[in-house]
Amino acid sequence: MDQHWSALLEFDQKHVWHPYAKLPNPVQAIGVKKTQGSIITLADDRELVDGMSSWWAAMHGYNHPKIQQAMHEQIDTMPHIMFGGFTHEPAIELAKRLVKLTPAGLEKVFFVDSGSVAMEVAIKMAMQYWISLNRPAKNRLLTVKNGYHGDTFATMAVCDPVNGMHSLFANQLTNHFFAPAPQMGFDIESDNQDIEALKTILLEHQANIAAITLEPIVQGAGGMRFYRPDYLKQVRDLCDECDVLLIVDEIATGFGRTGKLFACEWAEISPDIMALGKTLTGGHITLAATLTTKKISSTISHGQPGILAHGPTFMANPLACRAAIANIDVLLASPWQENITRIEDHFQQTLLPLKSLSGVADARVLGAIGVVELERDDLGPAIQAAAVENGIWLRPFGKLVYTMPAYNIPQHQLVALTTGLIIAIKNSLKP
């Protein structure tokens, strides 16, 4: 590595605070020089196959030419304009696509600039809806354990109370209701004890519950857990029966990751509020959105103060909206469902056999998501280092080693990815 990069990395280690890291960082971050497709080129010119698609966002890989072209065209005319009092074609065209593609009834679009904020807005919508109906006592949320919805304060309060960050900020967070996590297994025949437990809490506290919020089908950063569509369908029915809204967090699952365009489609349900992010621009620039129904938007607009009290500075940024339009068009024009099936088949063949290894608690696959759950929770750093040595990029957390690659990852790179993952896990489990 040349002196230029050595100096940069030394400064970074001392002064730049990375996510979920100490400062100064005892582990130096890995310098990246460029990206292309599913390949990350490091500062020392090594190449890694990306198994993370930049925290699940770069679903077409990096530097997609059509998305880049759209961004270049937009930056030449109007990279940004405030959305208060103004509007513009990229925001309108993107909203048209989202209304058309998302489940029926989600007709109103509020743009924000990150997934956590999309969930903050979703929670605010739900609370303000009941305030507008003169029912302010409905100001609590019901969620499920092992969930994750973001790192901001309102979202932390509905993350798992054990493996989330409640312990750090317990005195500052709103106290919501937590039901047991859905039973694991996408295809299981369930006894519905998990639904009965949720129903018991809901019936006891429905006068105070504004909404149920959950991640549909896949619980992501809270455990990489897959659950049956019928659970989600029953939650939708319970919300209707008990006069409670349903918020779904499709930030990780939206736009095809599970094999359906949106994970809600597995249960054939429509939520009252939906949060989108991550893949919205294909990982090219930050953007997120919260969608809701005419009933909710109308109720808020006719209540007091008659507005939704939220307005991010970079809301509906034109450059990001153009990227999102191009990203959605690229997705719909691609054989994305065939690619998801191809990745799923490969993960099933290569990762599921790891269940037989001593030290592996489980291996599971759904769509373009492959997960290996270890019995120990302290092997992540060693596995990540071994992965890099084997030419792949992973970022394990806790007991979980997982991969969510770009949908269009070439087959030979997919093979390299799983080969490197398996070697890294096996080496870490050696006595």
pLDDT given for residue 163 in this prediction: 76
Which H or E run contains 12? helix 3-15
pLDDT given for residue 162 in this prediction: 83
Query: Are the C-beta atoms of residues 219 and 181 closer than 8 Å to each other?
Result: yes
3-state class (DSSP) for residue 218: strand
Whether 20 maps to a domain, the answer reads no
Instruction: Identify the domain boundary among 280, 300, 333.
Output: 333
Q: 344 and 315 share a domain? A: no
Q: Is 265 exposed, middle or buried (0-12, 13-18, 19+ CB in 10 A)?
A: middle
pLDDT given for residue 165 in this prediction: 64
pLDDT given for residue 60 in this prediction: 98
Q: Is 148 one of the annotated active-site residues of the chain?
A: yes
pLDDT given for residue 423 in this prediction: 97
pLDDT digit string, tens, across residues 350-375: 999 999 999 999 999 999 999 999 99
Q: 220 and 95 share a domain? A: yes
Q: 263 and 353 share a domain? A: no
d(CA 151, CA 148): 9
Spot the catalytic one: 278, 399, 402, 407.
278
3-state class (DSSP) for residue 173: coil
- pLDDT at residue 336 greater than cutoff 70: yes
Q: How many domains does the chain contain in total?
A: 2
d(CA 136, CA 153): 20
Mean pLDDT of the chain: 96
Q: 304 and 416 share a domain? A: no
Instruction: Identify the domain boundary among 333, 354, 369.
Output: 333
Q: Is 205 exposed, middle or buried (0-12, 13-18, 19+ CB in 10 A)?
A: middle
d(CA 68, CA 142): 41
Q: Is 249 one of the annotated active-site residues of the chain?
A: yes
Cα Rg for the chain, rounded, in angstroms? 22
Whether 2 maps to a domain, the answer reads no
Q: 202 and 344 share a domain? A: no
Q: Which of 96-110, 145-159, 325-339 has the lowest mean pLDDT?
A: 145-159
Q: 117 and 148 share a domain? A: yes
Whether 305 maps to a domain, the answer reads yes
- pLDDT at residue 127 greater than cutoff 70: yes
pLDDT given for residue 170 in this prediction: 79
Spot the catalytic one: 20, 22, 76, 187.
20
What is the CATH classification number for the domain harbouring 91? 3.40.640.10
Q: 132 and 192 share a domain? A: yes
3-state class (DSSP) for residue 410: coil
Expressed as residue numbers, the domain containing 233 is 67-333
pLDDT given for residue 334 in this prediction: 98
d(CA 62, CA 286): 14
Whether 286 maps to a domain, the answer reads yes
Give the pLDDT band of residue 103 (cuts 50, 70, 90).
very high
Whether 346 maps to a domain, the answer reads yes
Q: Is 44 one of the annotated active-site residues of the chain?
A: no
Cis check: omega of the bond before 216, within 30 degrees of 0: no
pLDDT digit string, tens, across residues 290-299: 999 999 999 9
Spot the catalytic one: 108, 138, 145, 148.
148
Instruction: Identify the domain boundary among 306, 333, 360.
Output: 333
Q: Considering Cα of 323, then 394, then 18, then 223, what sign does the dihedral take?
A: positive
pLDDT given for residue 166 in this prediction: 67
One-letter amino acid identity for 87? T
Distances (CA, A) of 163 to 94, 155, 220, 382: 35, 14, 12, 21
Whether 19 maps to a domain, the answer reads no
Q: 238 and 271 share a domain? A: yes
Query: Are the C-beta atoms of residues 281 and 37 closer than 8 Å to each other?
Result: no
Whether 12 maps to a domain, the answer reads no
Q: Is 426 one of the annotated active-site residues of the chain?
A: no
**Alpha-carbon 72 to chain mean position:** 27
Whether 149 maps to a domain, the answer reads yes
| pTM higher than 0.95 | yes
Q: 300 and 347 share a domain? A: no
Q: 84 and 40 share a domain? A: no
pLDDT given for residue 430 in this prediction: 84
Q: 339 and 401 share a domain? A: yes
Q: 328 and 339 share a domain? A: no
What is the pLDDT averaged over residues 243-261? Answer: 98
Query: Are the C-beta atoms of residues 108 and 297 closer than 8 Å to each other?
Result: yes
What is the CATH classification number for the domain harbouring 351? 3.90.1150.10
